[in-house]
Amino acid sequence: MNRYRYTIDAMHCQGCVKRMREAIQAEDTDAEVSGAPAEKRLEVTSTLSDTRIQALLADAGYPADEAVSKRSAAARSLTVPGMNCQGCVKRMREAIQAEDADAEVSGAPAEKRLDVTSTLSDTRIQALLADAGYPPQDTPTIADGAEGNSDQHFSEAPAQTIAKGHGRDETDINGIESDSSDTSPMQRFSISGMTCAGCVNAVQKALARTPGVQRAQVNFASETAQVSGSASSEALVAAVKSAGYGAQPIENLREATAQRQQNAASQMRRHAIESAVSLSLGIPMMLAMFFHTPRFAGAERIVWLVLGLATLGVLATAGRRFFDGAWKAARHHQANMDTLIALGSAAAWLYSMAVLLLPSAIPEGARHLYFEASLMIVGLIGLGQTLELRARGRTSQALSRLLDLQSATARVIRGEADQERETEVDIEAVEVGDRIRVRPGERLPVDGEIETGDSYLDESMLTGEPEPVHKRPGDRVSAGTVNGRGSLIYRTTQVGDDTQLGRIVDQVSRAQESRPPIGALADRVSAIFVPSVMIAAVVTALIWLNVGPAPQMIHMLVAATTVLIIACPCALGLATPISTMIGIGKAAEYGILIRSGEALQTASRLTTLVVDKTGTLTEGKPKVTDARYWQDESLAKSVAVALERDSEHPLATALLAYLGDDTTPSKIRDFESLTGRGVRATLADGRVALLGNAALMREQEIDIATAEREAIQWQSQAASLIHLAVDGQFAALYGVRDALRHDSREAIQRLHDAGLKVVMLSGDGQAAADAIAREAGIDDVRAELMPGDKQAAIQALQARGERVGMVGDGINDAPALAQAEVGFAIGQGTDVAIESAGITLMRNSLHGVGDAIAISRATLTNIKQNLWGAFGYNSLGIPIAAGILYPFTGMLLSPMIAALAMSLSSVTVVSNANRLRFFRPDAGRRDKTEFQAEETSA
């Protein structure tokens, strides 16, 4: 079947469409013809050729003025290394459907596979994916049975991802994905030499231009770069060096963090020493200028020449880094903050030396010295950078605390049963399968499963839950948690970066280095900021020289120098990433793992939260509370056990627990799972058995009216119903109740207080759903939904202008999680649900959603404050430095004041961001709980 689109000017109504349909179907009865008269558009799906269809339309009196032959839709499979979740799939789907609205796009992030059925050519699809930031790695592979031709040769075997890297396809019980397979590994680098946002732009461009790079992201606050693609680390390091900066691959995050902190401490000491040297000479010279007017003759002139040479010595030592940075930037045709400082301080020194060496060449009114200005510029900026480094060192404390949870050694039990011995080894020497002993009060070194012993473990550092968790043989334990009073022996299941703690550290680190969309404007401005300031300084100088009052030379020098010095690209570069780092780190402290800066920003703007019932509002541990039988009870139990014994659904687990191990399952065949309704199978004697909800019974025309009274009564008590029918006759009804979590009502009230509307989506009957909603305080309820209906419900909310978040934990929640603006996956949910979500909650409580939204809002508010401060400072500071207030005050801003203001601007941004470290998203709740506890004790 080929698909075509035509423009038919003679088409005015659906009657015209009907006549054209009849003309085409006269030769192709299976043809599909639809039209949009208002747009004069006719779409045809037919086996007929384009030429024949146009002839038939012309014979029917509707000639096609424009024909666009659409290729028959071909199904392709592509390997997309950058696809990590269903959110990625959603963005790729939107990119393709922007040109082919009928395209079908689905993806398997774990396999890095994207399936596309579209009329677009392969070249066009690859281009669209690349533009969307997800370039495919290889040639698309056509699916078996796909129709139509292609502009490329296809192999018959489906594309497969083979290379091992940092993909995500395994998730442990707490939902933290493990690295498994990714054809495009993410490489990290420590970047040195960056001084402002312009440097970030230069490094990012150098990395992006390297062959094989798919995506490059540079973070100024952490001085790191993340690069995905096939480019080698050697090529990437060379690219950064060619741009005038240093790069070093990060092999071990813990070592790299320690090294960065050590480098920052060393750099801070060096800046402090350089600042002290500059100010020790600059401050006395500045004070001298208040009480003495320099003379340019005799011995005093010699003294000033000596002081000028001393100033040059300070600039060549304490201020050398600014000139080195400016020179490197100039060699690579760039300009950065060092350029502005070097130009400003050099201009002041050169002018002063010209006055001393050639006083007669300069008008008497313009003979002033500015040696102290050069020294104070270097000294004050150095002091500001010292304070900034000190403040920035506190921004990565959350990640450092996570890294500190990793033990350096482990006590391993090795040897045969009669010759076992305990050995303390380095953590790198622990292997999967090793047996580990943990004594009371010790921190667990790796993940594993308990073999002997039981104890209470403090998992608060991973989940945010303060209460210790009781662990027994067979339970899984995680690295970084702290053992209580018991002694444990457990067998290792994951080590190193594959442990839950290792994956948390990795995810937090990656998220901290991502950028929220709000920072895009600052990035664009930063790219042109320094050249713009230099142009502004030149224009300022020309204006003062040509139309300024006497002495023009002095006014020109002071104004131009002050413009160069007061501009602060550093504040712009720090405004967004430093708050993002702290905000995501703060979230991790509360057991909230935010996938990216985009998810962080989106969560702050939600207006509606959609929640699943089972496992989200409720405990997720349903129990059968009621049962009644209308056929032989033993037969009904045997059939129910047979139908549910291989299911992992919580309701199946509850039913099996209720029926007990003593019930012998019936023999069944032809088992079939009916999505959203239940199951069906054939018994040994040929009778058909059905187990599921009321919709399944109605679909199969089973009369359940006899159980109506029980159904109404049980559902009014928030029970879910399981119906059993055998041989077309209703056999049994079970009532299963999943208790509401103890904190769900409080959490929902908290969300209401935050201005969110809460909607519950459930596959349960309306009565049971309404009962839970009343108990929890839900605003709106949608019940008896099929899995696909949840996604449609979210689309309907979005169509009304709502910004929707979704909380879920099951496979059937994955499409809805991907559809929502941001998805929240419960940490103990399924792998697919977690892959589809932007935020993962390590604890099973809706308070985690409240915490995540509170942190995101606080972080976005902080970022906006930083951006307003950075933009406002530069927008006001540069005109004032240029002399816009001179007509009113008769004074120009001193370059020394400009240097002080410039230093304090970036210190202010960093200090404001650090306020997030003291933010408590649950402050109100905890204060209320503590007050109630005190009131109770009183």
Encoded tokens for 256: 């790299």
Whole-number Å distance between alpha carbons of 152 and 205 = 32
Whole-number Å distance between alpha carbons of 408 and 426 = 6
- Chain CA centroid to CA 573, Å: 19
Find, among 381, 350, 393, the residue nearest to 274 by Cα: 381
Describe the strand order of the beta sheet including 822-826 as a list of residue ranges: 592-594, 839-841, 822-826, 804-808, 608-612, 757-761, 780-782
Rounded alpha-carbon distances, angstroms, from residue 404 to 176, 284, 506: 19, 47, 14
Backbone angles phi, psi at 631, to 5 degrees: -125, -170
Q: What are the start-end ranges of the H helices in 150-224?
A: 197-208
Sequence-separated (6 or more) residues with CB below 8 Å from residue 25: 31, 33
Active site residue 764: no
The four Cα atoms 71, 75, 76, 82 give a dihedral, to 10 degrees, of: 100
Q: What is the DSSP string of 327-359?
A: HHHHHTT---HHHHHHHHHHHHHHHHHHHHH-G
Token pair 């992201």 is at which residue?
A: 217
Contact (CB, 8 A) for 135 and 82:
yes
Whole-number Å distance between alpha carbons of 399 and 412 = 28
N residues, the chain: 938
For residue 482, the tally of other CB atoms under 10 A from its CB is 18
- CA 799-800-806 angle, to 5 degrees, is 75
SS (H, E, C) 504-541: HHHHHHHHHCCCCHHHHHHHHHHHHHHHHHHHHHHHHH
Identified catalytic residue from 182, 338, 498, 612:
612
Whole-number Å distance between alpha carbons of 837 and 813 = 10
Q: Which residues pair with 628 in a beta bridge?
A: 733
| Coil, helix or strand at residue 739 | coil
- CA 355-356-362 angle, to 5 degrees, is 30
Number of H helices, E strands in the chain: 32, 36
Whole-number Å distance between alpha carbons of 462 and 806 = 23
Annotated catalytic residues are 612
